[in-house]
Structure 1
Amino acid sequence: MKRKKETRTVDITNIQTRSEENEPVKISGYAAVFNSRTSIGNWFDEIIAPGAFDRSISAKNADIRALVNHDWDKVIGRTKAKTLTLREDEKGLNFEIELPNTSYARDLAESMERGDIDQCSFGFFVDEGKERWDYSQEPALRTLEEVELYEVSIVSLPAYEDTEAALVRSKEIDKSVEKRMQIIKKINGVLK
């Protein structure tokens, strides 16, 4: 079975940067919020269930990265190096990043300090059986019950500005949802 990479963008206006003298700059916030219904490109709505990230972040050999704008050349933290800390709480997926002393990390901190950048995104895979679809409503509702998290990113341009979480989505998912919605419309038409 082929797995599809997915990303979500989350508004993190409560993100904080802090630095003590001779201490590295840290960023903290929420990369995802639980039970927050979000429209994914007007194709379907989505909810992230509490516990969805638990297995990924508690895995013994977890190696999740923090990036700038999903750019794998701009790693700003890593769980394996203990410069990225992830945990779930009642609100969602909380993170803290200890920024490196690199030009792009300093630029990011400056842009965040000014309020120019205040959003986050995350990349993940969903294995078969780890999501639930409800096609009895329009738009359909997808609930992510368990995801394999591979990165969180601080981003300057979210996919959808007006949502807390948004998808840079796979065209395969779009086609699948569109086909199912067409079938449901036909069935509803016959039943009427």
Structure 2
Amino acid sequence: MSDAERRFTRGLVEVRANDGNSDGGRRVGGYAAKFNRLSQNLGGFVERIDPGFFAKSEGDGWPDVMARYNHDDNRLLGTTEAGTLRLVVDGTGLDYVVDVPASREDVMELVARGDVHRSSFAFRTFSDDWGQTEDGFPLRTLLSGALVDVAPVNTPAYMDTSTGLRSLAERAGAELAEVRAAADAGDLARFLARPKTTTIDLAPGGQGDTHPSLVLRQRRAELNRRRTF
């Protein structure tokens, strides 16, 4: 499993209507991630999230996922384990709703006033793929991973892209320092022409010799079967 990464969503976090829970209506939510949307330039490449990216986490019941204001351990808002954080994957992306505790009333006020209006999510990648946009710009597609947390955020932090560059280096059989230097020079595209030299498992102990798209289809079919019952 790779190091945790963070990405930010161009969408509003907002106060959500009360559904009768005992939280007194202190609920905020939004899309933490949106599928098939090109990211901003992440330092020589852009990204998009495949609709199957969260299938493993969703199929496992979203284990140990938290909502934390600004990803801060000291600003915990809710957890999937306690049922105070609820996650839904739809055709747009990953939507979350969290019951904000009374001790975090400032978060409610900041969201209600519009001071906090961004969402973010942290994740670990199991499988990705590299290609190019229609304009020939390097494109990383996130295929499968584990969700770590979702977060309303007021100031997007610097996004460390080391994991993504490491993935491209492994794919191309190159040194990370060489790929990082190419990223700084805006020349990552030359690594995309190299043959893929490694197979990336979708999960620990996963299907190393199975094509990622086949594994994702199998996971989606199993997830749909579970939803039927």
Same fold per superposition (TM over 0.5): yes
Shift in Å, 1:73:
1.3
Shift in Å, 1:39:
2.2
Aligned residue for 1:69, secondary structure, equals helix
Aligned residue for 2:102, secondary structure, equals coil
Q: In the alignment, which residue of structure 2 is the partner of 1:164?
A: none
Give the 3 Å change call, closer, same or farther, for CA 157–170 of structure 1 in structure 2. Answer: same
- Aligned CA RMSD, in angstroms, stands at 2.7
Counterpart residue identity of residue 130, structure 2? W
2:83 and 2:23 mapped to 1: Cα distance?
A: 19
**Contact 2:62 2:80 (8 Å CA) reproduced:** no
Shift in Å, 1:123:
0.5
Identify which range, 9-18 or 107-116, moves more after superposition. 9-18
1:168 aligns with 2:159: yes
For structure 1, the 5+ residue unaligned runs are: 160-166, 188-192
Identity between Structure 1 and Structure 2 (%): 28
Shift in Å, 1:54:
2.0
1:18 and 1:122 mapped to 2: Cα distance?
A: 22
Deviation string 1:102-128 (CA, Å, 9 cap, x unpaired) is 1xx21011011111101011111112x
Shift in Å, 1:182:
5.2
Q: In the alignment, which residue of structure 1 is the partner of 2:54?
A: 53
Shift in Å, 1:51:
1.8
Q: In the alignment, which residue of structure 1 is the partner of 2:222?
A: none
1:133 aligns with 2:124: no
2:62 and 2:2 mapped to 1: Cα distance?
A: 20
Shift in Å, 1:60:
4.1
Greater share of strand? 1
Shift in Å, 1:138:
4.0
Aligned residue for 1:81, secondary structure, equals coil
Identify which range, 16-25 or 146-155, moves more after superposition. 16-25
For structure 2, the 5+ residue unaligned runs are: 166-175, 194-229
**Contact 2:138 2:189 (8 Å CA) reproduced:** no
Counterpart residue identity of residue 79, structure 2? R
Counterpart residue identity of residue 15, structure 1? E
Greater share of helix? 2
Counterpart residue identity of residue 129, structure 2? R
Runs of 4+ aligned residues of structure 1 deviating over 6 Å after TM superposition are none
Counterpart residue identity of residue 52, structure 2? G
Q: How does 1:1-192 map to 2 (within 5 A)?
A: 3-13=2-12, 15-19=14-18, 23-60=24-61, 62-102=63-103, 105-127=104-126, 130-134=127-131, 138-159=136-157, 168-171=159-162, 173-174=164-165, 175=176, 176=179, 178-179=181-182, 181=187, 184=190
TM-score normalized with structure 2 length: 0.67
2:107 and 2:188 mapped to 1: Cα distance?
A: 44
**Contact 1:48 1:144 (8 Å CA) reproduced:** yes
TM-score normalized with structure 1 length: 0.79
